[in-house]
């Protein structure tokens, strides 16, 4: 595994990269790095894509991601990836799209354990009347939504 720290406007993020995949991106303690050459190249690509996103030069990401989660969580994360750049969707709407309209809280729980923040844009998921939680905090969520709105999302 390779652990890489990336400075962003919403704080320091740690990336865990291994076996040719981004496995995690968020706030967690880094382990001991033991990367291969492919993981180093992927880490550089991740850093470049994250910086490009924050500078208004990228709206989506092209890196291979390996997601570890339950079947339901992975379904939620796939649905979140469909939310267009600069738009939002409520927890309830995601639940309806997944055929389980009473699962709003479960959608929120899946967002809280999103292993790759920003790459899976759970900041775009809001409460029915706006707002809603975000693992990096409300200010980071507002920053990301404002960033996308300014970039013509």
Clarify whether 111 is annotated catalytic. no
Catalytic residue among 10, 122, 144, 145: 122
Judge whether 26 and 116 are in contact, CB under 8 Å. Answer: yes
How far is Cα 100 from Cα 51, in angstroms, rounded to an integer? 36
Buried b (16+ CB within 10 A) or exposed e, 15-35: bbbbeebbbbbbeeeeeeeeb
Read off the tokens for 116. Answer: 């790759």
Catalytic residues: 122
């Amino acid at each position: 595994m390779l652990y890489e720290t990336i400075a962003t406007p919403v704080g320091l993020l740690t990336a865990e990269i291994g076996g040719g995949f981004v496995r995690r991106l968020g706030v967690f303690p880094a382990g001991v790095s033991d990367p291969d050459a492919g993981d180093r190249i992927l880490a550089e690509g991740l850093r470049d894509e994250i910086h490009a996103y924050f500078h208004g030069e990228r709206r989506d990401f092209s890196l291979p991601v390996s997601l570890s989660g339950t079947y339901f969580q992975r379904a939620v994360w796939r649905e979140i990836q469909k939310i267009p750049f600069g738009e939002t969707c409520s927890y309830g709407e995601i639940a309806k799209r997944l055929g389980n309209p009473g699962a709003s809280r479960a959608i929120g729980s899946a967002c809280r354990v999103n292993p790759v923040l920003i790459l899976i844009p759970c900041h775009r998921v809001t409460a029915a009347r706006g707002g809603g939680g975000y693992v990096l905090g409300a200010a980071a969520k507002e920053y990301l939504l404002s960033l996308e709105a300014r970039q013509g999302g």
